[in-house]
Structure 1
């Protein structure tokens, strides 16, 4: 009965979330269903297990959600994202429209700009490029997803994406975990994704297919769609409802001023991870008032938070006087972080209740017993949970909450570097999370004015297949030569 309850609770969560119901309501309901079937105390699991785990997630990661959303909004309203997009467009032109869109998306998201903010700015740019180049509109979602939702989210060393931050407290790693493997994985995702999209473009040209028709105000409509909002906030760090609660500059800054904050994020993150924090005397963290923790457990989050904070200061100093309503921009950015972090925390709370069920031990043993070793079983666990929840961050946290200590124990026994576990877990969570019900997929299709029927196959190839190939390469290389 306990296992049936887990499956029924999960089915309720997945089915109703896909229909646009709020995860804030669905997650505790689904958790209570699982607890009821197991004959466990409902109120105790709600207030202690569910809320305890959700609160812990917020305590650990809300600073990254907050500063990430604020940074993204400042970059948008200062015109910096648009300036980077324009510069990339001018350099590559309509004849290389797909490459231009991919690289522009990669630049802004690797620099810390929130995914939905990137969508909002990249779609008009992509629409103009694709129209001028005679490339079908249906390829826009695949190109944008490749640049924003693959290697810059899960593989490229130092990425400030929340998915890359989640394993750090569990494994004691930094944002630059397994940099060599991350670069190889990024190259595989980029190369395969571009090959597929350019192949699709060539076939469309041969068939005489042009840009085609589509809605003119798809971006505007998507930001006001409540279903898109509910789905988006479980997979992104920015609430779409806040996108219009401020005003952007009329004329973007120069490319040097626009790109400077992105470089600041990367450089400060690197300095904090390898030079500043390792030299810091953090013995005070062992005191009860600081939670009795260690520098290893918090260093990764501290690195990302500091990098985003310094970048925000740089944006304000460089562009603050040109942003029409700076206070409104900052308020919208801060508000945009709240619903996403609480939504993902609710998924984490559901996972904590499920993991506390006696029947979950059978699931744990099944996962650990998967052939191929701990790297394969970790990849499978993060894949499955990210797919079922439709959230890479939610699925990854659930998997590591339930199995992270076990994998650390196995790593110690078998001499596996925790950096390797980190990179496998993050790439694994960023593969099957792009199934049709994923919030980022639904949002991107809506913003582009496309449908699953016309464009989803390209998202599958650019995001899922490319990531699976990269994941397989990382597991094989990591098993043979270890982390590097």
Structure 2
């Protein structure tokens, strides 16, 4: 009955979440249902297990949600994201429209700009380029997804994406874990995605298919849509409802100033993770008042937090005149972090209750018994949970909360570098999370004015198939040569 209860609770969570019910209500309700069907104490699981795990996740990662959303909002309101998009448009032009959209998305998201901020800036840019080049509108979502939601989220070393930060406390790694394997995976995702997009574009031209009509909804309407908001805030780290708050600059910064904060994020992150933090004495962290922890458990989050905070300060200092309503923009950025952080924390609390049930031992044993070793079973666990929850960060955290300690033990016994586990887990979370119910997918289709029927096949190819090919390559290379 316990295993049946887990399946029923998970099924209801997915069913109602897909229909727009708030995950803040669904997650504890589904967790309590699973506990009730397992004859477990309900109130204890709610206040001790669910809330304890959710609070722990919030305490660990809310600084990254907060700083990431704040940085993204200020980049948007200062005109920096639009300046980068315009620069790519002017340099590459309609003749390379697909590449321009992909590279613009990659540049801003690898530099720390929140995904939904990128969506709402890149969609008008892509529409302009695709119309000029007479490329079908239906390919816009796939081009934007390739640049924003694949290799810059899960593969490139040092990416400040929350998904790349989540494994760090579990495995004692840094944002630059397995850099060589990450670069290989990024090249595969980018190469495969561009090959597919160019192939489909060529086929469309041969068939005489052009851009099509202008049927996109106003961006403010999309941002305020409650159904989109519920799904989006579970999927990623920015509440799209805050995009219309604050005030955008009428003038755009020079491209050098626009790119400077992005370079600062990557550069300072590297300095903190590889050079500065390891050179300092943090032995005091072992004391009880600091949580009896270690630098390896918190250093990764610290390096990303310092990088985002420093880049935000640089952004404000270099663009102060382009931020006419600085307080309002900062308030909107801060507010944009709250609902996503609490939503993902609720998913983590649900996972903690499920993991505490006696029947979960059957699930754990099944996952660990999958043939191919720990790398394959970790891949299956993160893929399945990200797919079911529609959230890469939520699925990844649940997988590592429930199985992370076991995988670290296996890594120690089998001589597997934790950095390899880190990179496999992150890439694994960024594959099947892009199923039709994913909030990022729903939002992207809305801002581009297309439907699942129009565009989802191409999103599958660039965001799922390409990522799975890269993941298989990383597992094979990691099994043969270890982490590099």
Which TM-score applies when normalising by structure 2?
A: 0.99
Mapped to 2, the partners of 1:311 and 1:176 lie a distance apart of 18
Q: Which residue of 2 aligns with 1:233?
A: 233
Q: Is the 8 A contact 1:218 1:446 kept in 2?
A: no
Q: Which residue of 2 aligns with 1:348?
A: 348
Q: Which residue of 2 aligns with 1:455?
A: 455
Q: The residue matched to 1:258 in structure 2 has which SS?
A: helix
Q: Is the 8 A contact 1:219 1:448 kept in 2?
A: no
Give 1:199-210 correspondences, 5 Å limit.
199-210=199-210
1:57 to partner: Cα distance:
0.3
Mapped to 1, the partners of 2:221 and 2:110 lie a distance apart of 27
Q: Which residue of 1 aligns with 2:316?
A: 316
Mapped to 2, the partners of 1:138 and 1:244 lie a distance apart of 26
1:220 to partner: Cα distance:
2.4
Q: Which residue of 2 aligns with 1:99?
A: 99
Q: Which residue of 2 aligns with 1:377?
A: 377
1:305 to partner: Cα distance:
0.1
What do residues 77-124 of structure 1 show as CA deviations (whole Å, max 9, x unaligned)?
Answer: 000000000111111101111100000000000000000000010000
Q: Which residue of 1 aligns with 2:156?
A: 156
Q: The residue matched to 1:87 in structure 2 has which SS?
A: helix
Q: The residue matched to 2:422 in structure 1 has which SS?
A: helix
1:383 to partner: Cα distance:
0.2
Mapped to 1, the partners of 2:455 and 2:177 lie a distance apart of 33
Q: Is the 8 A contact 2:408 2:418 kept in 1?
A: yes
Q: The residue matched to 2:203 in structure 1 has which SS?
A: helix
Mapped to 1, the partners of 2:354 and 2:320 lie a distance apart of 46
Q: Is the 8 A contact 2:216 2:450 kept in 1?
A: no
Q: Is the 8 A contact 1:98 1:143 kept in 2?
A: yes
Q: Which residue of 2 aligns with 1:301?
A: 301
What do residues 453-482 of structure 1 show as CA deviations (whole Å, max 9, x unaligned)?
Answer: 000000000000000000000000000000
Mapped to 2, the partners of 1:157 and 1:21 lie a distance apart of 35
Q: Is the 8 A contact 1:218 1:448 kept in 2?
A: no
Q: Is the 8 A contact 1:166 1:393 kept in 2?
A: yes
Structure 1 residues 460 and 216: CA distance shift in structure 2, 3 A: closer
Mapped to 2, the partners of 1:363 and 1:191 lie a distance apart of 36
Give 1:65-464 correspondences, 5 Å limit.
65-464=65-464
Mapped to 1, the partners of 2:171 and 2:116 lie a distance apart of 29
Q: The residue matched to 2:113 in structure 1 has which SS?
A: coil
Q: Is the 8 A contact 2:392 2:433 kept in 1?
A: yes
1:216 to partner: Cα distance:
4.3
Q: Is the 8 A contact 2:251 2:322 kept in 1?
A: no
Q: The residue matched to 1:372 in structure 2 has which SS?
A: coil
Q: Is the 8 A contact 2:153 2:164 kept in 1?
A: yes
Q: Is the 8 A contact 1:218 1:449 kept in 2?
A: no
Q: Is the 8 A contact 2:2 2:358 kept in 1?
A: yes
What do residues 27-64 of structure 1 show as CA deviations (whole Å, max 9, x unaligned)?
Answer: 00000110011000000000000000000000000000
Q: Which residue of 2 aligns with 1:17?
A: 17
Q: Is the 8 A contact 1:348 1:394 kept in 2?
A: yes
Q: Which residue of 2 aligns with 1:4?
A: 4
1:286 to partner: Cα distance:
1.1
- Bigger shift: residues 305-314 or 319-328: 319-328
Which TM-score applies when normalising by structure 1?
A: 0.99
1:214 to partner: Cα distance:
3.3
1:236 to partner: Cα distance:
1.1
Mapped to 2, the partners of 1:35 and 1:160 lie a distance apart of 36
1:388 to partner: Cα distance:
0.2
1:350 to partner: Cα distance:
0.2
1:224 to partner: Cα distance:
1.2
Aligned length: 484
1:289 to partner: Cα distance:
1.3
Mapped to 2, the partners of 1:208 and 1:226 lie a distance apart of 38
Stretches of 4+ moved more than 2 A in 1? 214-220
Mapped to 1, the partners of 2:353 and 2:321 lie a distance apart of 48
Q: Which 5+ residue runs of structure 2 have no aligned equivalent? A: none
What do residues 140-172 of structure 1 show as CA deviations (whole Å, max 9, x unaligned)?
Answer: 000000000000000000000000000000000
Q: Which 5+ residue runs of structure 1 have no aligned equivalent? A: none
Q: The residue matched to 2:395 in structure 1 has which SS?
A: helix
CA RMSD for the aligned pairs? 0.6
Mapped to 2, the partners of 1:322 and 1:442 lie a distance apart of 32
1:384 to partner: Cα distance:
0.2
Mapped to 1, the partners of 2:311 and 2:168 lie a distance apart of 21
